[in-house]
Amino acid sequence: MNVTRLGFAHFRNLRDGEIRPCDTINVIYGSNAQGKTNLLEAVWLFTGGHSFRGAKDGELPVLENGRNAALASLTMTVFTEGREQELQLLFKNGRRESVINGVEKRTGSALVGKFCAVIFSPEHLLLVKEGPARRRAFIDGALCQMKPAFARVLTNYNKALAQRNALLKDILRHPELRDTLDIWDQRLILFGTEVILERIAFCRALAPKASEIYGGIAKEKERVSFSYAPFGGANTREEIAAKFFSALKSAQSTDIRTGFTSAGPHRDDLSIEINGLSARTYGSQGQQRSIVLALKLAEADILFQKTGERPVILLDDVMSELDMSRRDYLLNHLDGRQVFITCCDPETVRLMERGRGFFVENGHVKNTVLETDSVVQ
């Protein structure tokens, strides 16, 4: 899928205008605080998701005398399902409305599934830098996008976990309740096994793709490996359920003492190593950035395989800390994908072999002419 036009009015500092991106690389450049990320955020919001910067819908219309205006609107023409489709998003008095091919929808979430994108923002570096929760959230987020049924299983698992944890705390005061723990163990194993099986299947598809993409970014100088191996590498439904059961049993006394369930998919991790060493502990800034990029691009490839539509790739401030050859990979080797990249350095535009540049200054966006792709201003 490709964005062929993006219009904006009163959206953050972007007053009124439009851009016509190309179907390859679109570099959005300019000094700090001019509106580059705002433009990327405008594209992202058509996924139906929340702002990747954590902003509330009421904060998105332009500020006027210190208060957000009542209305902001975004329009997008996107080529998907073999034809151009018109999408509109309105942020009205703190609420979202959407219009799909002229049909008004009361919610913004009606857009989910119409437009698909993968976003990298500096915050995503925490995926490598922080603890396992970030990596689990990445896997689960990707699975929820691909399989709505997974979201239900995950919710059921989390509910069973919360109830088991509440019971563990009660058992300390009422030891006779210990017998009822079995019921929650069974539910936890039932849903937890399904969560683990889906994560294993996703990681099996993700790991080789991400390693291959990393090889391209790092010009094969380093080898990166990804591994998700819960319960020491259990694979089948029966094996996982059996190992989960014995892990819960052997940790039962500790769990009652701490009031917390210590085994299960809520403790799993996706291990990431560069040349056999933990990327979290030993990876450089550039290596960690390249790993997150590889994971995001691999996620996009898997989404493409599942849906038949290539998600649009949004890369916010990805160039800093990447050397020339890594920049060259992003600008010139992501064939077949529509990419939007923000950066401060105008030189980046000149490194592109093919693509379009958009210069952003104080909320105004100008198309710039490249030698290889002349663009109407």
Distances in Å between the Cα of 33 and the Cα atoms of 29, 357, 362 are 11, 18, 8
Q: How far apart are CA 336 and CA 333, in angstroms?
A: 9
Residue carrying structure tokens 């039932």: 190
Query: Exposure of 328 by Cβ count < 10 A (0-12 exposed, 13-18 middle, 19+ buried)?
Result: middle
Point out the annotated binding site. Answer: 30-37
- Listing DSSP states for 259-324 in one string gives TS--SSGGG---EEEETTEEHHHH--HHHHHHHHHHHHHHHHHHHHHHHSSPPEEEESS-STT--H
Q: Cβ of 63: how many Cβ atoms within 10 Å? A: 12
Closest CA to 120 of 343, 366, 313: 313
Point out the annotated binding site for ATP. Answer: 30-37
Single-letter amino acid, residue 72: A
Name the residues that contact ligand ATP, by CB under 6 A: 12-13, 30, 32-38, 59, 62-63, 68, 317, 342, 344
Toward ligand ATP, which CB reaches closer, 30 or 192?
30
Single-letter amino acid, residue 44: W
Toward ligand ATP, which CB reaches closer, 12 or 266?
12
Toward ligand ATP, which CB reaches closer, 212 or 317?
317
Please name every residue paired with 92 in a beta bridge, in sequence order, or none if there are none. 71, 95
Nearby residues of 103 by Cβ (< 8 Å), 6 or more positions away: none
Q: Would the CA dihedral through 41, 42, 44, 50 be positive or negative?
A: positive
Q: How far apart are CA 200 and CA 228, in angstroms?
A: 7
**For residues 48 and 112, is the Cβ–Cβ distance under 8 A?**
yes
Residue 151 C-beta: closest distance to ligand ATP, Å: 30
Residue 246 C-beta: closest distance to ligand ATP, Å: 50
Q: How far apart are CA 231 and CA 172, in angstroms?
A: 28
Please name every residue paired with 136 in a beta bridge, in sequence order, or none if there are none. none
Toward ligand ATP, which CB reaches closer, 38 or 98?
38
